[in-house]
Structure 1
Amino acid sequence: MKKRWIYTAVGAVTGGAIAYFMKDEENRKQVVDKAKSVKSNFGQKDDLPVEEAGRPEETADHDNAKMVSEGSQFGVQYYNELTEKEREILEKSNS
């Protein structure tokens, strides 16, 4: 029962702090700009670990290569399915 009150109090204090911080136009603009930059950086395909999972022998990730050498094919299968779907989408858009 007491945990619920603690969570409620922490939530109220956090909400109040956020509301106080966001009342200033400059702070709101900074938050929006930061969110946009994080979103644009997150969407870059080069950062996806799927690319590394499909080609463990070409990456510096020795743990992944070791797992594949021991018989784990999950990363390789996922990578193959993903690239096959991308190929199908490209073929449909080109025809």
Structure 2
Amino acid sequence: MGLFDVVIVEEMSTSDIVADAASHRLLGQDTDHVHHMQVKRLEIDSLHDEPIELSLDSELSTHEHLALQIRPQKLTVCAGPEYVPRSVPE
């Protein structure tokens, strides 16, 4: 079963974003302003009358509200005869 990988970055200066990203990526440290989570469903509402911009397969669209959810077994993937599936932890 799949999950969305969600990263929420709180509003902060560019230099703080770079410092937090370096701490997380290089040192494996959690940060106070960046939050990581995995979810089955995600709802996003626009703020301050600014539409949400979404790029899906390079097609741009704008929305006031987005509701996204995982749909198990809806993606078919073709693989060659050498493909050996690996187990996925639940």
- Structures share fold, TM-score greater than 0.5: no
Computing the radius of gyration over CA atoms, which structure comes out larger, 1 or 2?
1
Whichever structure has more strand as a proportion of its residues is: 2
Whichever structure has more helix as a proportion of its residues is: 1
- Structure of greater relative contact order (alpha carbons < 8 Å, 6+ residues apart): 2
